[in-house]
């Protein structure tokens, strides 16, 4: 079993697992932090951004001034933002059989995989994951395409040039593989390959393994996956949460007894308490609005925004902010708010129960009805007429590189009354703000990440007790900025195995057993013999039939019947004849009978000369006491004794009799004296004699 790591981002994983005869991709996350190296895409022409000076090398060479722009001591690429794709050269992605998606954030690279690698398999995901993932992709494509940029930048990607650039450009990884955003046509084609699944639904993959999605408790429809055969079990835990939020709670019991547990998608802010961050968010928002300022919240169109709106619903009346408008601006804002209300079966029990009252599961439905929350596809159109200040605006993108958020940063950035509050932990807020410096507006960092922290992971691992844990390299050592915090890493026994981007990991996992079924008629023919109390043994001669990774023992073929005449065979009848399998012999040697048989063979061999000369070996194991020990006979294919021995039945004389010419003698003849006589008789007929006693 091997694990191929195709992504270096621990919370946006993309791994490939080779298990038995199947190749399974675990998530296909898209690393968007690469967009922080690019200039923002403003919806309205920005004089400040368009007049930035070009960057030149230290020797004064300015051949890159058209591609690179300098802003407040930072250098940015002046081109359409590009994304860091998963590795495509480490493994032939056309051989991937299935892709398992854990949540909608971990499927953003799906069009790159399914449309450009020769992938012909199936993608499995839950319905909320697919629908909300579609919204995220649609929003991303819309943000990029509505601000076309004429020039493209590629010279700076040359390795010899890149090492001359300032950080972070010179430290960027695999820049030659960065790609522009996909199109909606590619998105639709990729999503058409997805097969919807439900929690605890078992899916057979080619008869080799079975995969099952489990609730991970992180987001609507988010899943962990169980991948198992009859005797092996692999658990994939990605983006899970034990906190009580809007999704169904995490299913922990099904993760027990795993041979290997692959762990990814832990919290990116292990020292931040989500409840504390929500409280800080509300208090800073209220403080800004009371002072006459506006609040900007860069966010995704789904996920944390549902919880923030619910908290504000409970908070604004008590804080005296009921007259302050809340604006949600996104090309998919309306769809996102509606989807959150109709996926009731994927919500926690408390929100499910509201559906039967009937009440909307989320309170933002009431905020919309009372006109406290308004949603718009963009800043153009109706928003321009309804807009009033002070207000709170939720919009994307959290990277601050594209989307309506760029316009508000340019509009409100010069006033210290305004505040931008970062709640998404995927991007460094300092790097996100870099192209907007100098900035007068206040910046508050309140990252809300409900995924598992290291304390919760330790408790989880003690409860489910996997034999081996596999995780990204970042989780096996403290964060670089807090190297003394040994509690901010995974601590388990045996120590977790780590991996990094473009690495192949051989998992410490060996297949020991395989399940084989036996035909009923073959089972009826078996004659078990008790070899010790409670254990019986039977020999079997059968044909092993394997199809779709399922193994079946069938009775051996019967001898072909002679055909009369010249009847023409049909194509389906024209199969090669199989030799009749001879029954296997087992038991103890009836010494006297065996000696008599050998004497007959010897006389026959004397008449025929040495034409059928072969070899025979005799070995004795165990003490030479009456009725004990085991005698093992080895015959070469050409030995005449072999044909003679096939006429002798070994075992209880009352059970069977092979031929009239070789009657079975009582077991009492098996004695040291009998064995000694046997060896003396056999000596003239054997080429090799070895043994004890």
Tens digits of residue pLDDT in 413-429: 999 999 999 999 999 99
Task: Summarize pLDDT for 430-440 with one digit per residue, the tens.
Answer: 999 999 988 99
Give 333 or 585, the one with higher predicted confidence. Answer: 333
Taking 70 as the threshold, does the pLDDT of residue 687 lie above it? no
Residue 677 banded pLDDT, cuts 50, 70, 90:
low
Could you give the CA distance from residue 167 to residue 161 in angstroms, rounded to a whole number? 13
Nearest C-alpha neighbor of 110 from the set 176, 35, 181, 8: 181
Could you give the CA distance from residue 405 to residue 398 in angstroms, rounded to a whole number? 8
Task: Summarize pLDDT for 173-186 with one digit per residue, the tens.
Answer: 889 889 999 999 99
Taking 70 as the threshold, does the pLDDT of residue 449 lie above it? yes
Taking 80 as the threshold, does the pLDDT of residue 675 lie above it? no
* H or E, element range at 264: strand 260-264
Give 519 or 624, the one with higher predicted confidence. Answer: 519
Could you give the CA distance from residue 313 to residue 282 in angstroms, rounded to a whole number? 11
* pLDDT at residue 505, as a whole number: 92
Taking 90 as the threshold, does the pLDDT of residue 93 lie above it? yes
Find the distance separating the first CA and the last CA of the chain, reported in whole Å. Answer: 48
DSSP state letter for 518: E
Longest dimension (CA), the chain: 120
Q: What are the residues whose beta carbons fall under 8 Å from the beta carbon of 296, sequence distance 6 or more? A: 393, 395, 405, 408, 409, 412, 418, 419, 420, 421, 441
Question: Where along the chain do its domains lie?
Answer: 2-29+86-148+183-266+453-506, 274-445
* pLDDT at residue 479, as a whole number: 84
With H, G, I as helix, E, B as strand and everything else as coil, classify residue 406.
Answer: helix
306-326 average pLDDT score: 86
Residue 472 near residue 500 (C-beta atoms within 8 A): yes
Residue 648 banded pLDDT, cuts 50, 70, 90:
very low
DSSP state letter for 482: G
CATH number of this structure's domain 2-29+86-148+183-266+453-506:
3.60.15.10
Taking 80 as the threshold, does the pLDDT of residue 304 lie above it? yes
* pLDDT at residue 100, as a whole number: 97
User: Which residue in this structure is represented by tokens 């309140």?
Assistant: 446
446-475 average pLDDT score: 93
Taking 80 as the threshold, does the pLDDT of residue 666 lie above it? no
Q: Which of 201-210, 469-478, 581-590 has the lowest mean pLDDT?
A: 581-590
* pLDDT at residue 586, as a whole number: 57
* pLDDT at residue 374, as a whole number: 93
With H, G, I as helix, E, B as strand and everything else as coil, classify residue 460.
Answer: helix
Rg of the Cα atoms in the chain: 37
Tell me, which fold does domain 274-445 have in CATH? Rossmann fold (3.40.50)
* pLDDT at residue 548, as a whole number: 78
* pLDDT at residue 558, as a whole number: 74
In terms of C-beta density within 10 A (0-12 exposed, 13-18 middle, 19 or more buried), how is residue 207 classed?
A: middle
- Residue 471 dihedral angles phi and psi, to the nearest 5°: -150, 165
* pLDDT at residue 612, as a whole number: 45
Task: Summarize pLDDT for 55-68 with one digit per residue, the tens.
Answer: 888 776 778 888 89
DSSP state letter for 83: B
* pLDDT at residue 481, as a whole number: 80
- Residue 79 dihedral angles phi and psi, to the nearest 5°: -160, 175
Task: Summarize pLDDT for 241-260 with one digit per residue, the tens.
Answer: 998 888 889 999 999 999 99
Residue 584 banded pLDDT, cuts 50, 70, 90:
low
Determine if residue 640 is left, alpha or beta; phi over 0 gives left, psi from -120 to 50 gives alpha, anything else beta: alpha
Taking 50 as the threshold, does the pLDDT of residue 591 lie above it? yes
Residue 636 banded pLDDT, cuts 50, 70, 90:
very low
43-48 average pLDDT score: 86
71-97 average pLDDT score: 92
Q: Is the dihedral of CA 539, 540, 544, 548 positive or negative?
A: negative
Give 384 or 108, the one with higher predicted confidence. Answer: 108
In angstroms, what CA-CA distances link 534 with 78, 513, 546? 78, 22, 31
Task: Summarize pLDDT for 319-362 with one digit per residue, the tens.
Answer: 888 889 999 999 999 999 888 878 878 888 888 887 777 778 88
Task: Summarize pLDDT for 122-151 with one digit per residue, the tens.
Answer: 999 999 999 999 999 999 999 999 988 877
Taking 80 as the threshold, does the pLDDT of residue 693 lie above it? no
Taking 50 as the threshold, does the pLDDT of residue 227 lie above it? yes
Could you give the CA distance from residue 360 to residue 344 in angstroms, rounded to a whole number? 9
Give 160 or 203, the one with higher predicted confidence. Answer: 203
Could you give the CA distance from residue 659 to residue 656 in angstroms, rounded to a whole number? 10
Q: Which of 84-88, 330-334, 423-427, 571-575 has the lowest mean pLDDT?
A: 571-575
* pLDDT at residue 49, as a whole number: 87
Model pTM?
0.79
Residue 15 near residue 263 (C-beta atoms within 8 A): no
Taking 90 as the threshold, does the pLDDT of residue 681 lie above it? no
- Mean pLDDT estimate for the chain: 82
Could you give the CA distance from residue 402 to residue 46 in angstroms, rounded to a whole number? 13
DSSP state letter for 65: T
* H or E, element range at 617: strand 616-621
Share of the chain above pLDDT 70, in %: 82
User: Which residue in this structure is represented by tokens 């194509």?
Assistant: 571
Annotate 411-437 with DSSP letters as a single string: HHTT-TT-EEEE--TTS-HHHHHGGG-
User: Which residue in this structure is represented by tokens 């300032």?
Assistant: 166
Task: Summarize pLDDT for 251-300 with one digit per residue, the tens.
Answer: 999 999 999 999 999 999 998 899 999 999 999 999 999 999 999 999 99
* pLDDT at residue 525, as a whole number: 85
Task: Summarize pLDDT for 530-550 with one digit per residue, the tens.
Answer: 888 888 888 888 888 888 778
Residue 98 near residue 205 (C-beta atoms within 8 A): yes
Residue 399 banded pLDDT, cuts 50, 70, 90:
very high
């Amino acid at each position: 079993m091997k694990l191929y790591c195709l992504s270096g981002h621990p919370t946006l994983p993309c791994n490939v697992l080779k298990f038995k005869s199947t190749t399974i991709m675990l998530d296909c996350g898209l690393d968007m932090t690469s967009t922080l190296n690019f200039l923002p895409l403003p919806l309205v022409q920005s004089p400040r951004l368009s007049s930035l000076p070009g960057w030149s090398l230290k020797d004064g060479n300015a051949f890159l001034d058209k591609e690179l722009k300098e802003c407040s001591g930072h250098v940015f690429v002046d081109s359409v933002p590009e994304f860091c794709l998963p590795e495509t050269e480490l493994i032939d992605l056309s051989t991937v059989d299935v892709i398992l998606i854990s949540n909608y954030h971990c499927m953003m690279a799906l069009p790159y995989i399914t449309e450009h690698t020769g992938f012909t398999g199936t993608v499995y995901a839950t319905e909320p994951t697919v629908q909300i993932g579609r919204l995220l992709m649609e929003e991303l494509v819309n943000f990029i395409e509505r601000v076309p940029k004429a020039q493209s930048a590629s010279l700076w990607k040359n390795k010899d040039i890149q090492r001359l650039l300032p950080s972070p450009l010179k430290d960027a990884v695999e820049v030659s593989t960065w790609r522009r955003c996909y199109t909606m046509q590619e998105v639709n084609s990729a999503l058409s390959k997805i097969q919807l699944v439900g929690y605890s639904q078992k899916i057979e993959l080619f008869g080799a393994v079975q995969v099952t999605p489990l609730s991970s408790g992180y987001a609507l429809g988010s899943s962990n996956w169980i991948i198992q055969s009859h005797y092996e079990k692999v658990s994939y835990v990605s983006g899970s949460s034990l906190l009580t939020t809007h999704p169904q709670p995490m299913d922990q019991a099904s993760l027990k007894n795993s041979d290997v547990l692959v762990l990814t998608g832990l919290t990116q802010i292990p020292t931040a308490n989500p409840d504390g961050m929500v409280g800080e968010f509300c208090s800073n928002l209220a403080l800004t609005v009371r002072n006459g300022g506006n609040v900007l919240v860069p966010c995704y169109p789904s996920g944390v925004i549902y919880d923030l709106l619910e908290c504000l619903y409970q908070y604004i009346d008590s804080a005296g902010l009921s007259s302050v408008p809340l604006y949600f601006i996104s090309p998919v804002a309306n769809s996102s708010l509606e989807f959150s209300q109709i996926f009731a079966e994927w919500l926690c029990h408390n929100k499910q129960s509201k559906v039967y009252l009937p009440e909307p599961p989320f309170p933002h439905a009431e905020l919309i009805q009372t006109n406290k929350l308004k949603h718009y596809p963009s800043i153009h159109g109706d928003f321009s007429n309804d807009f009033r200040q002070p207000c709170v605006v939720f919009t994307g993108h959290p990277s601050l590189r594209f989307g309506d958020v760029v316009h508000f940063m340019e509009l409100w950035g010069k006033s210290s009354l305004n505040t931008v509050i970062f709640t998404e932990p995927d991007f460094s807020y300092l790097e996100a703000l870099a192209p907007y410096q100098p900035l007068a507006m206040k910046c508050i960092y309140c990252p809300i990440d409900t995924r598992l922290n290291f304390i919760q992971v330790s408790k989880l691992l003690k409860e489910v007790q996997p034999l081996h844990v596999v995780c990204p390299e970042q989780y096996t050592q403290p964060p670089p900025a807090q190297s003394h915090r040994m509690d901010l890493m995974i601590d388990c026994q045996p120590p977790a195995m780590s991996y990094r981007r473009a690495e192949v990991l051989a998992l410490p996992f060996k297949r020991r057993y395989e399940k084989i079924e036996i035909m009923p008629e073959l089972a009826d023919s078996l004659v078990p013999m008790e070899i010790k109390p409670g254990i019986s043994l039977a020999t079997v001669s059968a044909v092993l039939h394997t199809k779709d990774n399922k193994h079946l023992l069938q009775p051996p073929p019967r001898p072909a019947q002679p055909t009369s005449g010249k009847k023409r065979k049909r194509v389906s009848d024209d199969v090669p004849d199989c030799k009749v399998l001879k029954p296997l012999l087992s038991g103890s040697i009836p010494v006297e009978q065996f000696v008599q048989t050998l004497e007959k063979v010897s006389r026959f061999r004397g008449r025929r000369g040495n034409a059928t000369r072969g070899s025979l070996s005799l070995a004795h194991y165990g003490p030479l006491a009456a009725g004990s020990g085991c005698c093992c006979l080895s015959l070469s294919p050409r030995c005449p004794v072999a044909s003679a021995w096939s006429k002798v039945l070994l075992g209880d004389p009352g059970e069977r009799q092979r031929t009239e010419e070789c009657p079975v003698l009582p077991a009492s003849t098996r004695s040291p004296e009998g064995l000694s006589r046997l060896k003396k008789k056999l000596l003239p007929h054997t080429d090799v004699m070895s043994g004890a006693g």
